[in-house]
Amino acid sequence: MKIGTMMPQAFDVTPVRADLPFAARITGLDPARLSDPDVRDALRNIWIDKGVLVFRGLEGEDVHLELSRIFGTLVQHPAREARAAHPELMTVRYKPESGWLIDVDGELRGTWLPWHSDLIYVDRINRGGILRPVQLPSHLGQTGFIDKIGAYQSLPDHLKWRIEGLNVIYKYDLDASHQKFGRTANPKMVRISPDVASIQARLDDFPRVLHPMVYEQRETGRKVLNVSPWFAVGIQGMENAEGDALLAEVADHIVGSSDVYLHDWEMGDMVLWDNWRTLHSATGCPPDEERWMLRTTIEGDYGLGRTEDDAAIDRAGYITV
């Protein structure tokens, strides 16, 4: 008999919002139970089912790391990016005096990010990550999530038929004013950090990559509408008006979803997302307020991405957003 079956229920699972078919809130989880194999299996299963898990009431670096390791091996971030106490943690920080500043439809926002999947601009996209706040702004600073399984299910049949078997081309470019598809605002870069400036000065160094527009979630067979609006530049073999119109229609369908989960951060939150199956975005923070988050990154490769001409990728040359 498994020990776990004799124990009281390890945690509570509730929807983050009554009308939302993805994402779940996990409460009442005692950190001492994180080593229980049954608890670990249960959390992994809920993650695969729901895509985003919001943990409330967990605290601290050790719990952040132990919780993250339930879902896979963690990426060791280079020291330059990490600047955190632990190599498996990455700092995501906006500082008013020097941070990445964007004018979003006339409003200044620190580190505003459009809808995207992390690393979609390289061949290997990571499995996901867990974010937790260290310092939050008085308002804004939310993280948005869209479920790409739900987006596929709600796609009109004539589009499902047209996109089957197609690949989307992605190109690294951190200037969101260059985004071609699925735009939700008209952003203008006001100030970029030295790292971002260095990337933007050598965009030709980064090869174009391909990812399938549709694939099946390995564990469930559910189809995923695998389009990241940010960084998408076209459809392979259809870089013309017809292909651009098709990609625009699909991207607009995704970002126009009514099933958006916008997470309002509280201290003590940890949010896990499945980067293979969800998109995320950042509403950015007020320009004069600091926002400081720490994130883990779960390694992985869904095995479906590749460079357009099979070029080798210098992974150290990229900043992950």
Residues that bind Fe ion (CB under 5 A): 118, 321
Task: Please say whether the beta carbons of 68 and 130 come within 8 A.
Answer: yes
Nearer to Fe ion, 251 or 321 (CB): 321
Q: Where does residue 111 rank: exposed (0-12), middle (13-18), buried (19+ CB within 10 A)?
A: buried
Which tokens hold the place of 24? 């779940």
Task: Please say whether the beta carbons of 145 and 261 come within 8 A.
Answer: yes
DSSP state of 285: B
Alpha-carbon span 257 to 23, nearest angstrom: 15
Nearer to Fe ion, 155 or 271 (CB): 271
User: What's the gap between Cα 144 and its chain centre?
Assistant: 9
Separate counts of helices (H) and strands (E) for the chain: 8, 20
Nearer to Fe ion, 39 or 225 (CB): 225
Nearest distance from C-beta of residue 37 to Fe ion, angstroms: 31
Nearest distance from C-beta of residue 102 to Fe ion, angstroms: 15
Nearest distance from C-beta of residue 283 to Fe ion, angstroms: 13
- Give the H or E element holding residue 12: strand 12-15
Nearer to Fe ion, 118 or 173 (CB): 118
Nearest distance from C-beta of residue 256 to Fe ion, angstroms: 20
Q: Which residue's C-beta sits nearest to Fe ion?
A: 118
* Helix/strand/coil for 114: strand
Neighbouring CB atoms inside 10 A of 128's CB total 26
Nearest distance from C-beta of residue 216 to Fe ion, angstroms: 23
* Cα→Cα distances 220→83, 106, 146, 217, 223, Å: 38, 43, 19, 6, 9
Nearer to Fe ion, 239 or 299 (CB): 299
Cα–Cα nearest to 67, from 49, 83, 48, 53? 53
Nearer to Fe ion, 68 or 166 (CB): 68
Q: What angle do CA 30, 33, 38 make, to 5 degrees?
A: 135
Nearest distance from C-beta of residue 116 to Fe ion, angstroms: 6
Nearer to Fe ion, 200 or 320 (CB): 320
Nearer to Fe ion, 118 or 147 (CB): 118
Nearest distance from C-beta of residue 159 to Fe ion, angstroms: 26
Q: Are strands 52-56 and 24-27 parallel, antiparallel or unpaired?
A: parallel
Nearest distance from C-beta of residue 92 to Fe ion, angstroms: 9
